[in-house]
Amino acid sequence: MGLAQRQRDRPVPLKAVTLKAGRLRLDMLSDMIVSHYSTYFAEQYPLSMISSGDTVLDLGAGYGDFSLLAALRVGPSGRVIAVEPDPLAFKFLNRNIRINDIANVVPVHAAVWGHEPHPSSFRPEGTGSRLSDSGSVGVDVVTIENLAARTSRIDVIKMDIEGAEDSVFRTSMPVIAHARTVFVEAHSLSIRLEISSLLNKAGFATFTWNMKNVLAGVTRRVLRHPLEFLDAEYRSGFYALGAVTRAFRGQNPIDPRSGLSLIIATRSRAIPNVWR
């Protein structure tokens, strides 16, 4: 066994936790649990908008929660290209692909930026890791065009790239415009408005995060999977309880970071009820 294989197979750090998402087992660090709530319980990226045979581009894949759920959705005739710059999250991404025996996810260790000058290094900060001139970790930087060259088409794009979305949309809209569905986290009101305008001009219908309906969706999923939810609550220090508190204060219940919003854009009329 080579050194690279031994490094990939080494035990998960002691502070790691394992949570279930349907048939999936997902290993993650405790500070990654917020993503589990957002992706699995809140389903902020509606899986019903992904079809069998699709090619999905997951930019900011983290430990692989959305990538693996999307991989099950697209089936053996589809695939997911999962791009993640954070070295630790990327190790968990590879581990989760392996332990769940997922064959249609292609992991890419890189950050994403547009065709513009970009920060020279990466700053690991858990779920808020990003490219930064003050970063401490070197990382490859790719464009959507680089990734599109790996496949004949891209049907769905999910983008959670911590502020780099502005540069990507300014310079790579011709590629993005060929997708059927786009999920993107925007990290300020001005960026959200700019991205929504670009998507609308390209012929997409766009929707933004709806607190009330998302919470209703969370309630339905929790009722269907109560044991998974209770386990996640226990392991996360009762994260959902804090989310409810934030909702009553008028904040985003899934992620309290100021200015963060989620856009869904599609060329299909099949918009899940949670987004209407």
pLDDT-wise least confident of 68-77, 101-110, 189-198, 251-260? 251-260
Number of domains in the chain: 1
In the prediction, which pLDDT does 33 show? 81
Report the CATH number that the domain containing residue 116 is assigned in CATH: 3.40.50.150
> What would the pLDDT profile of 114-131 be if each residue is shown by its tens digit?
776 566 666 555 555 555
- Domain that residue 24 falls in: 3-275
Per-residue pLDDT, averaged over 146-161, amounts to: 94
Q: Does residue 140 surpass a pLDDT of 70?
A: yes
Q: What is the DSSP letter of 275?
A: G
pLDDT tens readout for residues 181-235 = 999 988 788 888 999 999 999 999 998 876 666 677 778 888 888 888 888 888 7
Please return the burial class of 171, using the count of CB atoms within 10 Å of its CB with bins 0-12, 13-18 and 19+.
Answer: middle
Q: How far apart are CA 43 and CA 46, in angstroms?
A: 6
